Structure 1
Amino acid sequence: METSVRGVSSLERAAILLMSMGEKDAAEILKQMGPKEVQKVGAAMSALKSVSQDTVSSVLNLFLSECGAQSGLGVGSEGYIRNMLTEALGEERARGFLDRILLGGSSSGINSLKWMDPRSVADVIRQEHPQIQAVVLSYLEPDQSASILANFPEKVRLEIMMRIASLESVQPEALKELNVILEKQFSGKGSNPSTTIGGRKTAAEIMNNLDGAVEQELMQSIKDADEDMGNQIQDLMFVFDNLREVEDRGIQALLREVSSEVLILALKGADDYLKEKFFANMSKRAAELLRDDLEAKGPVRIVEVEAAQKEILVVARRMADAGEIQLGGGGEAMI
């Protein structure tokens, strides 16, 4: 079973699983997803061309195996969900995702913004205080927030982004009040633990999704206002995990510019999906040699891995600026 699903990403496995179901069952599952997840899974489903019966069987068996290992006890509790997400996503990413899950049940007003086009969302929050605008954009997906931000004047964009980068937490009561305000707008009517939201990383993810010219202009404005903040955001903007979004031709071009020694070190900190992406864009012989070198390399220091990944990202950014490749947005730093 492992062999049949090797190189198949979790997103592709989800697409295969849904395609194996009846239309009604698949539709019921899609109803439980947010707009970004529906878009990603839908794109993955449409991209499926020829999938072997062995792969389909392996995906189904893996799904059944994972479900069978679950116990009904504790399901739905915050502790269970937190542990599960931390195991799957890592502590930092899981914390932000859990905040959205626990908030989601009582935040229909804010959640409804996820399904609106960027211009409409901008119109909804245009007259709100910049701090409220920052909270809303921190809560939405980075690519949607970037599109919304593009609908504001340059001076307003700067203030909102500075506030997003400065956010650390928001009291749940404040979010509930904001949710009520938004619900009233849609209908035509007029000391708890903090929720993690915003911050430098959120600002970087939004910046990653801005148009190139807007991004450069806004970044320079941020640095003029607070150079340290601007540098911190810029350091978080392009990370190694972004390379999973680069097209195959771009990866092939990047491979021609990177030494095998640097690549080996960088891939020591990559997940299997990203490794397979690089392997798939090499000749069979080169991929086999790289696999062998990775196994023979043994443990390496995190600082060496990070330095190698940064070196590759410098090359990737240079190639992106020259129009030779297109970098993907979003992602998270890897070790």
Structure 2
Amino acid sequence: MSTRLKGKTIVDASRLSGPEKAAVILLSLGEDHATIWRSLDEEEIKEVSQAMASLGTVSAQVVEDLLVEFVSGMSGAGAIMGSFEQTQKLLAAIMPSEKVENLMEEIRGPAGRTMWDKLGNVNEAVLANYLKNEYPQTVAVVLSKIKSEHAARVLGSLPEDFALECVTRMLRMEPVQREILDKIEQTLRTEFMSNLARTSKRDSHEMMAEIFNAFDRQTEARFIAALEERSRESAERIRALMFVFEDLSKLDPGGVQTLLRAVEKDQLGLALKGASDALREMFFSNMSERAAKIMREDMEGMGPVRLKDVDQAQMNMVQVAKDLAAKGEIMLAGAGGDDELIY
């Protein structure tokens, strides 16, 4: 099911899928007619809820077209907005709160009609990190139910000995009883998918910190100063979440050397021109004496450089560091404290 772009209004009813049409009708009827949901089975509720949560704005004309038999009562209803919040409010009228929360978390998680479809949309490293703590026989069942290409990537992300044991179990595996399969599905839904949905909810300050990281130095300072006047707390949270060039000083020696191998030498020299003496010396101390001497000479030979170019080179180095951290090759420490964070 396609996810609709925020801000885009649906003006053609013929382009809506069946679940999307049902979602429009149920949203139009509102909470007073929420008992209609009771006539749907759980899979239908999931499908319509998924459509409702990603619907966006629907024009009044489309609403009227879909509710033609009620047009006299609905023609002035105007546009409606489908959202996570509205969907959750409607479901709360017909389902226990715990069940509503689980369903909404599943909607926010990876898309897919069945559990196995959803697993196919989970990053292989994330899935492997969860499965490595399960019994090899359980992992064998899971891998046998997802697409072979995805299963191959997951196996490649598992510890080698454990992956080989799972392969052996898969080769010997007999048809799995329905009860066992249902139990595995339920465990995946309650222990893995729900946690995945929770952790995938991004904090707005974290998102804004990433945007501020991409600003040049003057723009960042201007926005932070303006934000401090309106909300000092928000400004402080964003500043704490930002990872900036000077935070590279928290890398361990192995991380510094890995980063040095990944960064282009001209970009390194340009970035270090604007670095503090302490950070500059940290990088030099992790080079060979000859390489450090050459880098110092290259930096002196640059002469005056534009602040804009230095900022860009430093941002490029930070991005390279984040990419290395995402691959697990280095560990980055957050700017706001001593806790180590993997970006």
What TM-score does the superposition give when structure 1 sets the normalisation length? 0.36
Larger RCO (alpha carbons 8 Å, 6+ apart): 1
Larger radius of gyration: 2
What TM-score does the superposition give when structure 2 sets the normalisation length? 0.35
